[in-house]
Amino acid sequence: MPLSLRLLVSAAAASAAALAVASVPLTASAATLRAHTVPAAKPGLTHRPITLQDKAEFSGYDAAMDAAGTAYIGWIGNSGSGRKVHLCTLPRGATSCAGGISVVDSLGDSSAEGLRVLVTSTGHVTLVWFHDTVASENGPQGSEIATATASNHGPLSAPQDVATGPSFGAMEAAEVGPGGAIWVVTQTSAETKLQVRPGLTGTPVSLSAPYEVGNAQLAFSGSTAVLAIQQAGSITHPIAFASERGGSWSGFRNLARTWTSDANLGLTSTRSGVRVLASVNNADYFPVVSRWTGTSFTRPALTGERNNCSPSSHDPVSDASGRMADVEEECENVAVANLPDTTHAATVRFGSGGTFAGGIPQIATSPSGRAWVAWSIESATTANKLLAAPVLLPGRTVTATAVSAGNRVTLTGPASCLPAVTVGVKVVGKAARHWRGLRRSVHLGSTVLRSTLNGASLRAGRLYTLSGTVTFADGGARRTVTARIRFRTCGNP
């Protein structure tokens, strides 16, 4: 009769008499190595949230990060004296805004909205937003796209209007396109018409949407612009997309097997291509992701997030590691998802501190997995409160299997790219008929691991091999089976 044996690398499994598996003692060199590792780092919040503005009404906020790991959070807030544009600069390890919060006029008072933060690798920041003017009442192109800039962690420049926009419209997206030009997508007052400006000095292009647009996102695949939209007020309608090449836009096509549910779609450009996030087309509303092929999107696939409270927002971003990360509203929790391969997620959650209001959470990440998240909740008194907090992305795990003489070993360990956090490791052995498990171990190099691997103790940007070994016995016969996982740690900063 076959005997199945599960061998788990944990204290409980090691002490289970039924398994009768001998522990492998630490070698002297391994014990010394372990004693000198840095403290383990857990994913999630690494510092209590800071309040950026309280008792205010917000009409747009965003976050971005430069190559040095400095985060920039910008927002439009009104505490009673009109809408102002704000910028908070957060160098790595900061617990408050460096130099305080820089504030400039929005030029639009009660109409300024839709702010986006765009930053170069060297830390040059451009804030982009939209506002109406007196001219908005006199013609179809009377509103303005405005900018303010900051460099070297300095304050914001004076705001200026840089391009016109559709009167009484709204800004849906602003992204850096080919050649460093800032592209802006606006919605007209007709709500079924979109205007794409390919660079602030470019001639705007009008696009007709198949319905009233509730959200539009822009990303780039090389020189190709990809635009994704969703229908306002719809739950079961699929998202749609169009693309531009050589100045010519395609028509909109639906992406089958997606719903918008009550969440906005997400779109971002990663090192391996453009990705779109939406909801699966059933009442589970689990997130699905699709890859841009150059002309269309692949069939959407589940990311692996299956929380009972499905996301009601998305803000996918990418960084130089190539990953995609996302921040989501899940009931009263902030959920941060790390998709190191851009399609499969590991998620960590923490309480929002109140009831979400005034905008959806925004995230900026660095290759090491350090991130800043901004979100807004109802204030304890009146209006709303904008918060920001540093976060460590969770590590995702994968499995590898090896088989010999019918004896099977399955190893669980980290996927590339591993952030500077702890992840669980284990080896499971299943013995063939007449065999039994004798001993097991998990090694990283020459170091024996018990139940976790401390990613913070590893060198950034390096390739490692995790090995899980089980020795099986059949009378006097012995057979050792080893499964291996090769993974790379994420780079700095």
Query: pLDDT digit string (tens) for 213-227?
Result: 999 999 999 999 999
**Model confidence at 13, in pLDDT bands (50, 70, 90)?**
very low
Residue 380 pLDDT > 90:
no
Looking at residue 24, its pLDDT comes to 30
**Which pLDDT score is estimated for 35?**
36
What would the mean pLDDT of 128-144 be, rounded to a whole number? 97
Joined tokens for residue 145: 């796209």
| Assigned token pair, 235 | 């739950």
Q: From 197, 293, 306, select the one nearest 253 (Cα to Cα).
A: 293
The token duo for 307 is 């929380």
So what's the pLDDT on residue 62? 98
CA dihedral sign, ordered 405, 411, 415, 416: negative
SS3 472: strand
CA dist 266 and 277 (Å) reads: 5
**Residue 381: what pLDDT?**
78
pLDDT of 33 higher than 90: no
In this prediction, residue 186 carries a pLDDT of 98
Computed over every residue of the chain, the mean pLDDT equals: 92
Mean pLDDT to the nearest integer, 411-437: 97
Q: Which of 104, 110, 45, 98 is nearest to 75 (CA)?
A: 104
> How far, in Å, CA of 485 to CA of 447, rounded?
15
Q: Are 453 and 485 in contact (CB under 8 A)?
A: no
Report the phi/psi class of residue 108: left, alpha or beta, with left for phi > 0 and alpha for psi in -120 to 50.
Answer: alpha
Residues 213 and 197: their CA atoms lie apart, in Å, by 17
| Residue 290 pLDDT > 90 | yes
pLDDT per position as a tens digit, 177-216 = 999 999 999 999 998 999 999 999 999 999 999 999 999 9
SS3 readout for 422-457 = EEECEEEEECCCCCEEEEEEEEECCEEECCEEEHHH
So what's the pLDDT on residue 3? 32
Task: Reply yes or no on whether the pLDDT at 26 is more than 90.
Answer: no
CB < 8 Å & 24+ apart, contacts of 180-183: 180/120, 182/118, 182/126, 182/128, 182/147, 183/218, 183/225
Looking at per-residue pLDDT, the higher value among 289 and 245 belongs to: 289
Binned at pLDDT 50, 70 and 90, residue 37 comes out as low
pLDDT (tens digit, 9 = 90+) per residue, 455-469?
Answer: 999 999 999 999 999
pLDDT for res 198: 97
Under the banding of pLDDT at 50, 70 and 90, the label for residue 14 is: very low
- In 3-state terms, the chain is what percent helix, strand and coil (to 5)? 5, 50, 45
Q: What is the pLDDT of residues 252-281, one digit of tens each?
A: 999 999 998 889 999 999 999 999 999 999
pLDDT at 12 over 60: no
Query: What is the structure's pLDDT at 10?
Result: 34
Q: Is the pLDDT of residue 34 over 70?
A: no
Closest CA to 453 of 6, 9, 86, 2: 9
- For 261, the token pair is 């549910």
Residues 63-114 pLDDT 10s:
999 999 999 999 999 999 999 999 999 999 999 999 999 999 999 989 999 9
Is the torsion defined by CA of 185, 204, 188, 241 positive or negative?
Answer: negative
Locate tokens 């780039």: which residue? 220
3-class SS of residue 180: helix
- Residue 28 has a pLDDT of 28
To the question of pTM greater than 0.85 for the whole model, the response is yes
Q: Are 7 and 15 in contact (CB under 8 A)?
A: no
Q: Helix (H, G, I), strand (E, B), or coil: what is residue 135?
A: helix
Q: Identity (one letter) of the amino acid at 122? A: T
Query: Tokens representing 351?
Result: 């309480």
Q: How many residues does the chain have?
A: 493
Share of residues in the chain with pLDDT > 90 (%): 89
- Name which of 268, 259, 260, 223 is nearest 243 in CA terms: 223
Contact 24, 443 (CB under 8 A): no
Taking residues 280-309, report their average pLDDT: 96
Average pLDDT over every residue of 244-256: 95
Q: What's the pLDDT score for residue 114?
A: 97
Higher-confidence position of 378 and 39: 378
If DSSP codes are grouped into helix, strand and coil, which group holds residue 242?
strand
Interatomic CA distance for residues 147 and 106, integer angstroms: 9
